[in-house]
Amino acid sequence: MGVPTPSRGPVIELLGAGKTYKTGTIEFEALRGIDLAIREGEYVAVVGPSGSGKSTVMNVLGCLDTLTRGSYRLAGDDVEQLDEEELADIRNKRIGFVFQQFHLLPSLSAWRNVELPLIYAGVPREERRQRAVAALGRVGLGDRVNNKPGQLSGGQQQRVAVARALVTEPTMILADEPTGNLDSVSTADVLALFDQLHAAGRTIVLITHENEVAQRARRVVHVRDGLITAEELTAA
């Protein structure tokens, strides 16, 4: 796993970040002014109860949604100034996403799922296969590359999703409740993978409603009702 080049400023910088959802005539303020700076290589958990705005934060950080107030700078770029093509490029190459529901395509084998981001990135076919198989090896699934998701346990499916997040060699991993559907053994496997990724220099933002999971990060940011209520450094 390549160690990304360190940069001086924060890789993620939210300033006064606000998000208001409009449903018909009803407005809901999901983020109410969040200041958050994350440096390259940090392992940060965002923890809070259901409805506190965690997924909204993740969608903003991943350039999947935009703020209604404040600013988001990613690696020094003001995300609001980027066009759709530049945003798609960031989502595809710079960020690896992991979701609670895995989001694997059931008809494709593990390695075919893992190669998908490389297809979008325009990587040639044979290199795609080699890199997908190597990524599955890194998550301990070298002997399952031809299995379809339905032939794998939940924990194995999430490891396929982690391999897919890694295959483009992103500098940052964004994970939204990645252990939310897993038993305790699989949860431990996935968290051990994140420890390895952090040790290899990746920036990790782990979103969870479980404080015990959050404590695996080095820094924990507590959110409630769209605001940061506390921050702590852990013993991890």
Chain contacts with ligand ADP (rule: CB under 6 A): 21, 23, 28, 30, 48, 50-56
CB of 87 to ligand ADP, least distance (A): 18
Please, which residue, 21 or 120, has the CB nearer to ligand ADP? 21
CB of 227 to ligand ADP, least distance (A): 12
Side by side, the strands of the sheet bearing 26-38 are 26-38, 12-23, 69-74, 77-78
DSSP string, 56-110: HHHHHHTTSS--SEEEEEETTEEGGGS-HHHHHHIIIIIEEEEETT----TTS-H
- Report the C-alpha gap between 190 and 193 in whole angstroms: 5
Q: Which of 55, 113, 156, 179 binds Mg ion (CB under 5 A)?
A: 55
CB of 190 to Mg ion, least distance (A): 17
Please, which residue, 40 or 177, has the CB nearer to ligand ADP? 177
* 52 touching Mg ion, by CB under 5 A: no
Stretch near Mg ion under the rule CB under 5 A, chosen from 22-30, 50-58, 82-90, 112-120 = 50-58
CB of 48 to Mg ion, least distance (A): 9
Distance of CA 154 to the CA centre of its chain: 18
Q: Are 219 and 25 in contact (CB under 8 A)?
A: no
Neighbours of 133 (CB within 10 A): 19
Which residues of this protein are in contact with Mg ion, per CB under 5 A?
A: 54-55
